[in-house]
């Protein structure tokens, strides 16, 4: 083929040649010929662009034949491309190119007419992507392995310290709580300790039993639990319980021994006191009623103290799990920020995108965990609107069917004349989807999910049964034909972190979140189940006398809206970092930003002559007024001023009779920049219409 600069070359030929050399992907044309291995058994490369060498790693390809290039793989490649030549059907596939140690994505098409015996081939090197996918799978496996440690920490209760013992090297790494519990210098725990150093402060009477328990756990592997006394820095001995697990390699070699410490000193003292009280009670003369009464009172006090201790263990279970999860998330955020800073200093800015993605992913997981816990505690931020539940379910049927899969039939039975409810629609949608996914998990071999709505009158007897006030309610029930639940599982189903799913397949927060959401919405949720027959979960929501609102969606945030000339937004937040970030976003969007750190400063700005098109305020503020009170004062001074509340959780002061006033909106922290921009534009647009 002639050069594009040759006058004999046509403009279309020149354009083709320029495009041929400019594309980044590898491109070549091969021509089949009959060889010693049979008809169309070999081909030579008659044309290739510069991208061919880049994508395949093979230089000077033009003129080389297949069997000269990769003789051991020639039959396979020839068969693939020969099928394209013979049938005329293009192919697209991925294959490892052993000769150059690369994985190539290939598209091949016959060049017409067939008599030319030519096939065009487009190459792309996807080795890096495949290796990244393999690394992601390895990372996910590591995460699943770590779930076991999370569950261990959750089950342990009132955790005061953690350890990881590398058995082959006899090296303990412990946290500060562990070190202090054993009367050790925390710095040594970070450097690594031997078993001998660890057990040096164990009570002499307990050392032999501890050694036997450790030896047995290492030999058999699996869970380990043992109680013993340890001398702390004050010279006194305290009872501890160690809970851990010995992990063996595939060949049975003991590898690691992680675990947690629980403070059981008070519990053992209480149990000893209880046992003593019981013994004294039994020894009393039956005729001495007064002494019996005194002993009984003492026993009740001991029992109450024991119950209090058990409550603290439950709190420890919750906080221990949260601390573990949040420390993992903070480690991901902190590490990503440090590496981003390092790469920027090194000038390697092209590599920071993955660290940004990792940090943002950790933030989203932390926000999700916080949201679930607030839902369980009935403290999540809700924006209730009048809604028709039948309309909501109909709009979600396709999503639910895709989520549960083709092996499960989904049926919607909507009651005619269904009453409206006042509810946060996205939260109700999330609750419904959660219930359907739970139902799917209860039917591994397939089955049927029925979503049913109805109007319910709750009388006095039902009120006591359902634990909700009498009145009119709308029910939303999800039933399945699955395995069902036993009474003891139903009794614990709404407890946070309780799950019957295998490790790594459930957080134990789904039903507790739905329970908290229903309670916060003035309703209730109940489970009806029979083992082997299936389960039905019903959400009861109070009837709303108003008409259901039409479905509203937030503006598309893919295009961030910018400010109009002169538009000014006032930001009031006592957290300097949040205030700075919001102000920077506003300035990037072209708004003028006015800032105040408390309600006093905010009120002074509102009383000034400055132009203010929108007030953005936190709800919890210092200075004598909360954010809602500041917003009310702002509307007295500047009637019609729209307000955007940004909050970490729903303070009771935010809502008026369960609803926000017109021109007010809520954005829950943390939030995306494009979402903030869209809300600002939406509210300012309302005030100017």
Locate the domains of the chain by residue range: 18-130, 157-378, 382-542, 568-686
Say if residue 504's pLDDT is above 50: no
**Domain 18-130 of CATH type 3.10.105.10:** no
Give the pairing type, strands 254-263 and 159-166: antiparallel
Q: Is 505 exposed, middle or buried (0-12, 13-18, 19+ CB in 10 A)?
A: exposed
Span 246-262, mean pLDDT?
90
Q: Which residue has the higher pLDDT, 130 or 11?
A: 130
Q: Same CATH fold, 382-542 and 157-378? A: no
What tens digit of pLDDT does each residue of 105-156 get?
A: 889 999 999 999 999 998 888 888 888 888 777 766 665 655 555 455 545 4
Confidence check: pLDDT of 381 > 60: no
Q: Say what the pLDDT of residue 1 is.
A: 40
Q: Does domain 157-378 have CATH number 3.30.450.20?
A: yes
Listed range (173-187, 326-340, 645-659) with the worst mean pLDDT: 645-659
Q: How is the beta sheet containing 614-618 ordered, strand by strand?
A: 592-596, 568-572, 614-618, 642-647, 664-668
Question: By mean pLDDT, which of 31-35, 147-151, 217-221, 621-625 is the weakest?
Answer: 147-151
Complete DSSP assignment for 247-285: EE-TTS-EEEEEEEEEE-HHHHHHHHHHHHHHHHHHHS-
Q: Which residue has the higher pLDDT, 555 or 274?
A: 274
| Residues 540/431, Cβ–Cβ less than 8 Å | no
Mean pLDDT on 180-198: 84
Is residue 3 pLDDT above 60, yes or no?
A: no
- Report residue 126 as tokens: 């996807």
Nearest to 27 by CA among 52, 44, 54, 53: 52
The tokens of 497 are what?
A: 């972190």
Total-model pTM? 0.38
Lowest mean pLDDT among 6-20, 121-135, 165-179, 352-366: 6-20
The pLDDT confidence band at residue 362, using thresholds 50, 70 and 90, is low
Q: Which residue has the higher pLDDT, 551 or 478?
A: 478
Predicted pLDDT at 108? 93
Instruction: Find the DSSP H helices in 4-126.
Output: 11-22, 50-56, 66-69, 74-87
Residue 475: what pLDDT? 93
User: What average pLDDT does range 308-335 have in this prediction?
Assistant: 58
E strand or H helix that includes residue 684: helix 673-688
Residue 263 has what pLDDT? Answer: 86
> 568-686 adopts what CATH topology?
Rossmann fold (3.40.50)
CA 193, CA 197: separation in Å to the nearest integer?
6
- Residue among 63, 33, 58, 60 nearest 46 (CA): 63
Residue ranges with strand state E in 556-641: 568-572, 592-596, 614-618
* CA distance linking residue 464 with residue 475, whole number of Å: 17
State the average pLDDT for the chain.
80
Residue 172 main-chain phi, psi, to 5 deg: -90, 130
Give mean pLDDT, residues 41-65.
Answer: 89
The CATH number that domain 382-542 falls under is 3.30.565.10
Task: Convert the pLDDT of each residue in 563-592 to its tens digit.
Answer: 788 889 999 988 888 888 888 888 888 899
Q: Minimal CA–CA distance to 57: which of 43, 70, 44, 67? A: 70
pLDDT digits 0-9 by tens, 473-501: 999 999 999 888 888 888 777 766 556 55
Q: Who has greater pLDDT, 394 or 267?
A: 394
The answer to whether 195 and 172 have CB atoms below 8 angstroms apart is yes
pLDDT, mean of residues 158-184: 86
Q: What is the mean pLDDT of residues 171-175?
A: 88
pLDDT of residue 572: 92
Higher pLDDT, 307 or 520: 520
Which pLDDT tens digit goes with each residue over 586-632? 888 889 999 998 989 999 999 999 999 999 998 888 878 888 889 88
Q: H-helix or E-strand containing 86?
A: helix 74-87
pLDDT number for residue 455: 93
21, containing H or E segment: helix 11-22
Mean pLDDT of 213-233: 91
């Amino acid at each position: 083929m002639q050069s594009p600069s040759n006058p004999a070359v046509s403009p279309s030929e020149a354009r083709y040649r320029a495009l041929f050399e400019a594309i980044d992907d590898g491109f070549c044309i091969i021509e089949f010929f009959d060889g010693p291995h049979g008809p169309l058994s070999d081909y030579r490369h008659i044309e290739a662009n510069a991208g061919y060498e880049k994508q395949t790693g093979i230089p000077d390809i033009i003129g080389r034949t297949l069997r000269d290039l990769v003789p051991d793989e020639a039959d396979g490649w020839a068969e693939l491309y020969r099928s394209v030549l013979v049938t005329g059907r293009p192919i697209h596939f991925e294959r490892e190119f052993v000769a150059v140690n690369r994985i190539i994505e290939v598209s091949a098409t016959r060049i017409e007419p067939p008599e030319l015996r030519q096939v065009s081939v487009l190459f792309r090197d996807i080795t890096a992507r495949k290796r990244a996918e393999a690394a992601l799978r390895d990372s996910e496996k590591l995460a699943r392995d770590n779930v076991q440690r999370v569950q261990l920490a959750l089950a342990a209760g009132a955790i005061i310290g953690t350890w990881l013992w590398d058995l082959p090297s006899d090296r303990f790494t412990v946290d500060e709580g562990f070190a202090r519990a054993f009367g050790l210098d925390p710095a040594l725990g970070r450097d690594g300790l031997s078993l001998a150093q660890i057990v040096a402060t164990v009570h002499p009477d307990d050392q032999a039993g501890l050694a036997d328990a450790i030896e047995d756990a290492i030999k058999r592997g699996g869970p380990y639990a043992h109680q013993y006394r340890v001398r702390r820095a004050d010279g006194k001995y305290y009872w501890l319980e160690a809970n851990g697990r010995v992990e063996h390699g595939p060949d049975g070699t003991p590898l690691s021994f992680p675990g947690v410490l629980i403070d059981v000193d008070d519990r053992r003292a209480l149990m000893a006191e209880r046992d003593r009280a019981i013994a004294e009670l039994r020894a009393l003369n039956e005729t001495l009623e007064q002494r019996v009464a005194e002993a009984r009172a003492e026993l009740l006090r001991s029992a109450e103290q024991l119950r209090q201790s058990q409550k603290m263990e439950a709190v420890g279970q919750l906080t221990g799990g949260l601390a573990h999860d949040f420390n993992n998330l903070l480690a991901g955020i902190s590490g990503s920020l440090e590496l981003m800073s390092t790469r920027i200093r090194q000038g390697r800015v092209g590599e920071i995108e993955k660290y940004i993605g990792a940090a943002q992913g950790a933030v989203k997981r932390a926000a999700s965990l916080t949201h679930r816990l607030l839902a369980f505690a009935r403290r999540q931020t809700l924006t209730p609107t009048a809604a028709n539940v039948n309309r909501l379910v109909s709009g979600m049927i396709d999503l639910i069917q895709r989520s549960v899969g083709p092996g499960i039939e989904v049926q919607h039975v909507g009651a005619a004349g269904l009453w409206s409810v006042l509810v946060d629609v996205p939260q109700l949608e999330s609750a419904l989807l959660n219930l359907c996914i739970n139902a799917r998990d209860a039917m591994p071999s397939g089955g049927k999910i029925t979503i049913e709505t109805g109007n319910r009158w709750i009388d006095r007897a039902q009120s006591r049964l359902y634990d909700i006030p009498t009145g009119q309610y709308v029910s939303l029930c999800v039933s399945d034909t699955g395995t069902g639940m036993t009474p003891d599982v139903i009794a614990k189903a709404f407890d946070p972190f309780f799950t019957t799913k295998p490790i790594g397949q459930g957080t134990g927060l789904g039903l507790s979140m739905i329970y908290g959401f229903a309670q916060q919405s003035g309703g209730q949720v109940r489970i009806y189940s029979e083992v082997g027959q299936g389960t039905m979960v019903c959400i009861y929501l109070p009837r709303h006398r108003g008409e259901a609102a039409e479905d509203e969606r937030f503006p598309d945030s893919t295009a961030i809206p910018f400010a109009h000339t002169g538009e000014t937004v006032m930001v009031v937040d006592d957290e300097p970092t949040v205030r700075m970030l919001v102000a920077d976003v506003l300035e990037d969007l072209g708004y003028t930003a006015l800032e105040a750190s408390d309600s006093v400063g905010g009120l002074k700005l509102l009383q000034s002559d400055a132009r203010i098109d929108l007030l953005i305020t936190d709800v919890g503020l210092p200075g004598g007024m909360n954010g809602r009170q500041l917003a009310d004062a702002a509307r007295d001074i500047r009637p019609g001023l729209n307000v955007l509340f940004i909050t970490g959780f729903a303070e009771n002061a935010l809502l008026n009779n369960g609803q926000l006033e017109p021109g007010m909106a809520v954005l829950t922290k943390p939030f995306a920049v494009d979402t903030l921009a869209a809300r600002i534009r939406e509210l300012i647009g309302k005030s100017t219409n």
